């Protein structure tokens, strides 16, 4: 069965060794590179810069490494990814390629998915019809994007009928963390298809933390200002003092940068601010339910959708990692509004939704529960960045160096792998390459060779 595209919203990872605190006034070029944020992009940049022999320090506002990647072991006693969970395209994913060095394990996600229509599974013909409309909808968006940029919702086939709500959820809130009316058709079409996936047995956040554990990370150290007015250096002010660096890589989310929590001097130009506004984070959250046994009768990591009647729907990932914990994922405008009501309302929705698909008795089998609220996480403020209409070029704008000393990185600064940990990682490595080139000493000047004087032939005879 043809698998669906699954895009997780980058998040996840616990732990990491903190570098010693610092204090006092800044002095010129204390450091080659300062990195703001210890998510996937920050870890990737720090690893590459350290390998190149550059002095680097990572400043993380939270008390863990991973950003939108965080694995929790306490809530259910098993790895529970609060953020990013899917490892997309593991055959080419730069993070997956490093797993063998960590002692951790990844395994392939099962292909395909199931579809519930009321309290029964879709028949073969119904599933084929659903998948056919998915393919046709993607093609319609891609075809429309070649002519002009418009919202993905405007590009959908008119004949979707009673499949429309299911298609809109799958391609929108589940795939982009936004409703299709808010997503650029060009941005959607440029993103790589992500139909081959894997999971980390110990948790995606655990994997990110492992990759960052040897780095000089200063935890619980938010950066409050970045001043690039001095020639040849950038001054960072943090909760633990000031520091000067020759260059800075900023990996904070677009929503955090727009919030004003990090002040820039001079202020960010309108070009960058407009780009950030067009790449605002959407909403995507997990509602996790631990069951007594396997009342849903599903296999490990089974993915289930419903034939929805409207936006009030979700995706189910059952028996995550072989546990008795299920993820009920919500996103887009409905998910955002639900998360604003708090965990109690989110958990009640998840139980009611499952009850409508598998029977009301399901509620009696729920043990522990938990719900994420990424839009309220103070150092993230959302999920991941699908571009608004006209906003796809904004990704390249974020890749431009600012005043030749400040570089931006993260999933929002990747044109084809936005919304993924792999895209954030590649973006961090790209920024590190640019910094290495900036800080490289100019080639030594070769001494000018004096032209050889031609000798005159000696006169023969008198």
Q: Is the pLDDT of residue 5 over 60?
A: no
Count the neighbouring beta carbons within 10 Å of the beta carbon of residue 27: 10
Q: Cα separation of 436 and 124, whole Å?
A: 55
Confidence band (pLDDT; 50, 70, 90) for 28?
low
pLDDT at 13 over 50: no
Using one digit for the tens of pLDDT, what is the confidence trace for 363-385? 999 999 999 999 999 999 999 99
Whole-number pLDDT of residue 99: 96
Long-range contacts of 257-265 (CB under 8 A, 24+ apart): 259/381, 261/222, 261/224, 262/36, 262/223, 262/224, 262/225, 262/226, 263/224, 263/225, 263/226, 264/225, 264/226, 264/227, 264/228, 265/225, 265/226, 265/227, 265/228, 265/229
Residue 89's nearest CA partner among 103, 101, 68, 106 is 106
Structure tokens at 105: 């394990």
Whole-angstrom distance, CA of residue 103 vs CA of residue 95: 13
Lowest mean pLDDT among 168-172, 190-194, 200-204, 228-232: 190-194
Beta strands in 347-434 (DSSP E): 366-371, 406-408
Query: pTM here?
Result: 0.90
Residue for token pair 């590179």: 33
Residue 14 has pLDDT above 60, yes or no: no
Per-residue pLDDT, 447? 61
Over range 303-315, report the average pLDDT: 98
3-state secondary structure of 205: helix
Domain architecture of the chain: domains with CATH: 31-108+199-281+380-439 (3.50.50.60), 114-192+282-376 (3.90.660.10)
């Amino acid at each position: 069965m043809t698998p669906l595209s699954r895009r997780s919203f980058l998040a996840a990872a616990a732990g990491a060794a903190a570098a010693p605190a610092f204090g006092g006034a800044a002095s010129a070029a204390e450091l080659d590179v300062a990195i703001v944020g210890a998510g996937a992009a920050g870890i990737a940049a720090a690893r590459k810069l350290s390998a190149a022999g550059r002095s680097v320090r990572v400043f993380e506002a939270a008390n863990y490494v991973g950003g939108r990647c965080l694995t929790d072991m306490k809530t259910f006693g098993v790895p529970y990814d609060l953020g990013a969970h899917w490892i997309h395209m593991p055959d080419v994913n730069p993070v997956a390629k490093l797993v063998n060095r960590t002692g951790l394990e990844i395994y392939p996600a099962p292909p395909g998915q199931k579809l519930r229509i009321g309290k029964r599974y879709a028949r073969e013909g119904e599933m084929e019809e659903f998948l056919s409309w998915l393919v046709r909808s993607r093609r319609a968006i891609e075809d429309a994007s070649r002519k002009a940029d418009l919202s993905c919702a405007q590009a959908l086939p008119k004949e979707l009928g009673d499949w429309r709500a299911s298609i809109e959820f799958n391609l929108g809130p589940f795939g982009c963390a936004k409703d299709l009316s808010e997503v650029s058709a060009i941005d959607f079409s440029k993103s790589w298809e992500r139909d081959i996936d894997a999971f980390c047995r110990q948790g995606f956040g655990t994997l990110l933390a492992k990759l960052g554990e040897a780095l000089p990370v200063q935890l619980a150290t938010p950066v409050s200002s970045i001043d690039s007015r001095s020639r040849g250096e950038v001054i960072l002010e943090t909760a633990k003092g000031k520091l000067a660096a020759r260059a800075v890589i900023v990996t904070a989310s677009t929503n955090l940068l727009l919030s004003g929590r990090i002040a820039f001097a001079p202020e960010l130009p309108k070009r960058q601010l407009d780009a950030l506004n067009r790449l605002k984070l959407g909403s995507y959250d997990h509602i996790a339910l631990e069951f007594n046994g396997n009342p849903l009768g599903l296999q490990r990591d089974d993915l289930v959708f419903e034939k929805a009647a409207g936006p009030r729907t979700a995706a189910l990932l059952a028996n995550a990692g072989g546990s008795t914990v299920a993820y009920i994922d919500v996103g887009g405008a409905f998910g955002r509004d639900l998360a604003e009501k708090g965990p109690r309302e989110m958990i009640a929705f998840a139980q009611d939704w499952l009850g409508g698909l598998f029977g009301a008795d399901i509620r009696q089998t729920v043990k522990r529960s938990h719900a994420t609220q990424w839009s309220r996480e103070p150092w993230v403020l959302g999920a991941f960045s699908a571009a608004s209409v006209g906003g796809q070029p904004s990704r390249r704008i974020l890749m431009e160096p600012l005043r030749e000393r400040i570089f931006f990185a993260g999933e929002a600064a990747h044109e084809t792998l936005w919304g993924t940990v792999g895209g954030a990682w590649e973006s961090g490595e790209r920024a590190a390459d640019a910094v290495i080139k900036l800080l490289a000493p100019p080639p030594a000047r070769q001494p000018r060779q004096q032209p050889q004087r031609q000798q005159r032939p000696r006169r023969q005879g008198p």
